[in-house]
Chain A
């Protein structure tokens, strides 16, 4: 992957929206992705980057009963992952296990560990507790947050608590705080809400309309990145939520998703419906900047955009950094194209 300006591509058969890094796989850099096809047989692909980093191999191909709207890999067991799926008329969420000798047969069926069937409306996402080996899960639909406890050996999941966010706030997604396992951020129509999982109460919120995606910075506590449709990307300091720490221009059209690099705290990736992936350098840290100057600061920076990868045919929805090799990311455009790129040329000097 030296000088990897041109990424490694892999084509899915159908359209797709979601890709996830398999965090529990310590030996390989692998990603899970699932297709979104209303009428065809949907598939989950387990992709692995070859040891030389020059090829992207399909390690496993599993059929999935419905089109996949969200997919998340379990942080402690590489064989387990969650999906949110839709039959077209109704939504469902489930935990799946990849069958034991995977990779042998070309298409094998997934084992359903548990079905997260406590929802009625449109399910948005399933979040795994980021602490590593906790068996907690959050599933989110437009009105409700449900905290689950998963027992993979017994193949069951039970609801620990459930809370309604209210009709007015239609939730659209969220992120689990890696620095505080009791706190999650959920995006809703008009704000970013922060929930305390112990009490299942909303503790704080940032008023910001149409936030599409949020991500916590793994390296910097209190820093949250949000992406919205119109005004791009914002960095927030959770201790001072009235003004963003920094603003980044985002994409020409909507900024769909945003991800902080798990290792290099200044690097942020965003994908957008303008068929591009942008790599940003966000140096602003809340410690050395006063609250009044973020605007100034962002204006002073020469150009926070390090690179724009534009070799996509359609809107890009899926995005994941690799935890194992933090300079590698996978992106997935709607036409089912997975592209692995390395950001090594842009890494900050250390």
Chain B
């Protein structure tokens, strides 16, 4: 089957396709079958076999289909017949029209040759005639041409001979332009024949031209001439091949030299502004420097305008000059603000500079001076803002330290209070001034400022943020809390007066509570602009953070104050406990000296605190309300104390110690180390507590004999009254004093307390003595 199918290849394939579409309703018939049938069934194929087709049809279809098929086929045959007829007819038609056309062409070609010969003859005759005319006119034309040339030459000679005279005339009428034109026109001839026939003429004209050049040069240099005239002169000079560049250079150099005169020297700057102000009142004063400066700049810019027109190619140089001037202005400005300058003065100078820039910008818009100066102005302004802040910081620390020096020499008095008030004022006044100054900056309407308003706000906010941060850091350095990396300063930190630390602490509180809210308000009111654009990462001024910082600083400083104070006492106590041999202590005769010194230290703390810190709300009753536990513990330890006294009398130290332990187990822990508050009482109390705790610890490190213990007992007893007077939290003090006694008794080899009457007597003696001492010092 495959061998049969092979020769049919292409065609068979097409057949198969056709058949498959035809037999689509009956897809079960295998393709091989259909391929056999294909060769016989397809009407269009060459191997169509009508009989077989018929057979197939009859076999496969019923009558109705056969009839339909018959009708369809008949119609198709009819159609094909008519199509064939139409084609034959159309072909015939076309053939007939073609024969007609060929016939017409044949008749038209006859008679064309004769016409062509006639045309040739006529053209020949026209040509011969034109040749004749040409030869007859040739001679005359040559003559005319010669004459014309002679005339031109003569005219040139005439011109050259006339040149000197004409130039003279031009000089007289100052028509230098014409003169130059004539001269340059005659130049080529003079160059060729100058040495021979036109020698005199050339010399004469050169002489006059010399004069003209000289005249032009003077014209160029004279400021009185109009710019146009000068520009023309320059152009003419250039045409005359005079080296203009050197002239230009000379002129520009002169201009450059004049720059020096235009500088706003930092030393004179303030004068400039002052006079600017004063001259507003007395207009007659025409000597004031601002005016002079303005005129000078105006002159400068005029000159620049002139040169620009005269030497259009010198723009670059002029740009450079103008830029140099602007840059110089801003440099000087930077120098100027290195000193302390008020915003008004700053603005005054700034305005002058801006005016200068505007003047120059008019002349040289391409120099982009305004951009340049805007940039420079930004830098300067930023510096100004930064400097203002650093000045303020300097002021504040100066105020703080100024008094500190006095303090060491003078009597204590109310110095701390003075310092505190002065520094508070310095901070407040300083920030107010800064705001005033900056508001001026914002209100300023000079061109650049308007553009920079947002930026300025941003800088100011950032400035405040940085200012407060660095102020805090400085406080800590001043207090000696953070030793600066500098060794020299580190050494001086020992000498820092404790009072100063206290002042710093209180000042921090003041800043946190008063200054920062005020600054926040002010910023919100007038400087809120720059936030959104300039600082994408949040606003630059974060009062919350600053408050936190200062809060922490104030606490740190207060703690530091207490630390330095207790340190002093601690040294005192250390000496007291290290020196004697407590095991061989002699019987107590009087209250020991160190108690006086301790109380004196406390007194000093009290004094300092009173000057600086506010008085707390009276706490005595509050304590019983809120921390009732404290009072109970104190009463407990009190009873314990008295218990112990009686018992130790009866030599029951062992059980007593046990009982202290037991008692300790049951009672609540006394909060010795509470948080320090910013009140006089709290600070004093904390100091006393810490000192007493130290006392207890020192006692624990020693071993006492009976007399040693009694000495401690006496000292503590004496301390009780004055301490309670000064201190807010009596319970804690009671507790701590008892703890000292307990500690001493624990460390005592032989606990026998002093009898109360003896104790009393000794204390009275001490009181009397100190009174007497006081009287003595008062009287002396």
Q: Is B483 an interface residue (CB 8 A)?
A: yes
Q: Is A335 an interface residue (CB 8 A)?
A: yes
Q: Is A315 an interface residue (CB 8 A)?
A: yes
Q: Which residues between 65 and 101 of chain A lie within 8 Å of chain B, taking CB atoms?
A: 86, 88-89
Asked whether, in the complex, the Cβ of A231 is within 8 Å of the Cβ of B563, the reply is yes
Asked whether, in the complex, the Cβ of A335 is within 8 Å of the Cβ of B697, the reply is no
Q: Is A15 an interface residue (CB 8 A)?
A: yes
Note all chain A residues with C-beta closer than 8 A to B766: none
B654: which of A39, A231, A252, A295 is its contact (CB, 8 Å)?
A39
In the bound complex, CA of A230 to CA of B693 (Å)? 13
Q: Is A243 an interface residue (CB 8 A)?
A: yes
Asked whether, in the complex, the Cβ of B749 is within 8 Å of the Cβ of A273, the reply is no
Asked whether, in the complex, the Cβ of A86 is within 8 Å of the Cβ of B673, the reply is no
**B: contact size bracket:** 20 to 34
Known contacts A38-B703, A38-B746, A38-B748, A254 near B567 by CB under 8 Å: no
Note all chain A residues with C-beta closer than 8 A to B583: 88-89
Asked whether, in the complex, the Cβ of B483 is within 8 Å of the Cβ of A243, the reply is yes
Q: Is A169 an interface residue (CB 8 A)?
A: no
Q: Is B293 an interface residue (CB 8 A)?
A: no
CB-defined interface of A213-241 with B at 8 Å, one 1/0 digit per residue?
00000000000000001110000000000
Note all chain A residues with C-beta closer than 8 A to B563: 230-231
Known contacts A38-B749, A292-B485, A253 near B694 by CB under 8 Å: yes
In the bound complex, CA of A109 to CA of B757 (Å)? 47
Q: Is B487 an interface residue (CB 8 A)?
A: yes
Note all chain A residues with C-beta closer than 8 A to B578: 170
Note all chain B residues with C-beta closer than 8 A to A229: 567, 570, 694
Asked whether, in the complex, the Cβ of A314 is within 8 Å of the Cβ of B664, the reply is yes
Asked whether, in the complex, the Cβ of A89 is within 8 Å of the Cβ of B703, the reply is yes
Asked whether, in the complex, the Cβ of B697 is within 8 Å of the Cβ of A38, the reply is no
Note all chain A residues with C-beta closer than 8 A to B665: 313
Shortest CB distance B77–A (Å): 100
How many A-B residue pairs have C-beta atoms within 8 angstroms? Tell me. Answer: 61
With contacts A38-B749, A253-B673 known, what are 11 further pairs, Cβ within 8 A?
A: A38-B703, A38-B747, A38-B748, A39-B653, A39-B654, A229-B567, A230-B570, A275-B669, A293-B485, A295-B484, A315-B697
Q: Is A50 an interface residue (CB 8 A)?
A: no
Known contacts A89-B583, A230-B567, A254 near B703 by CB under 8 Å: no
Shortest CB distance B682–A (Å): 15
Interface CB pairs A-B, < 8 A, 27: A15-B746, A38-B746, A88-B583, A88-B703, A89-B703, A170-B578, A229-B694, A230-B567, A230-B570, A231-B563, A242-B487, A243-B483, A243-B485, A253-B673, A253-B690, A253-B694, A253-B697, A254-B694, A273-B697, A275-B669, A291-B485, A293-B485, A295-B482, A299-B482, A313-B665, A314-B664, A315-B700
CB-defined interface of A332-350 with B at 8 Å, one 1/0 digit per residue?
0011000000000000000
Asked whether, in the complex, the Cβ of B664 is within 8 Å of the Cβ of A335, the reply is yes
CB-defined interface of A304-340 with B at 8 Å, one 1/0 digit per residue?
0000000001110000000000000000001100000
Note all chain B residues with C-beta closer than 8 A to A335: 661, 664
Q: Which residues between 126 and 165 of chain A lie within 8 Å of chain B, taking CB atoms?
A: none
B669: which of A86, A210, A295, A313 is its contact (CB, 8 Å)?
A313
Q: Is A274 an interface residue (CB 8 A)?
A: yes
Q: Is A117 an interface residue (CB 8 A)?
A: no
In the bound complex, CA of A334 to CA of B563 (Å)? 24
Note all chain A residues with C-beta closer than 8 A to B700: 315, 334
Q: Is B566 an interface residue (CB 8 A)?
A: yes
In the bound complex, CA of A38 to CA of B747 (Å)? 7
**Chain A residue at minimum C-beta to C-beta distance from B672:** A274
Q: Which residues between 724 and 780 of chain B lie within 8 Å of chain A, taking CB atoms?
A: 746-749
CB-defined interface of B468-493 with A at 8 Å, one 1/0 digit per residue?
00000000000000111101000000
Q: Is A111 an interface residue (CB 8 A)?
A: no
Known contacts A230-B567, A295-B482, A252 near B749 by CB under 8 Å: no
**Chain B residue at minimum C-beta to C-beta distance from A90:** B583
Shortest CB distance A304–B (Å): 15
In the bound complex, CA of A170 to CA of B701 (Å)? 15
Asked whether, in the complex, the Cβ of B654 is within 8 Å of the Cβ of A230, the reply is no
CB-defined interface of A40-77 with B at 8 Å, one 1/0 digit per residue?
10000000000000000000000000000000000000
In the bound complex, CA of A314 to CA of B696 (Å)? 11
**Chain A residue at minimum C-beta to C-beta distance from B750:** A39
In the bound complex, CA of A229 to CA of B690 (Å)? 11
**Chain B residue at minimum C-beta to C-beta distance from A290:** B485
CB-defined interface of B638-678 with A at 8 Å, one 1/0 digit per residue?
00000000000000011000000100110001001100000
Shortest CB distance B508–A (Å): 15
Note all chain B residues with C-beta closer than 8 A to A243: 483, 485
Note all chain B residues with C-beta closer than 8 A to A295: 482-485
In the bound complex, CA of A293 to CA of B482 (Å)? 11
Interface centre among B485, B487, B690 (most CB of A within 10 A): B485
In the bound complex, CA of A231 to CA of B493 (Å)? 14
Asked whether, in the complex, the Cβ of A230 is within 8 Å of the Cβ of B664, the reply is no
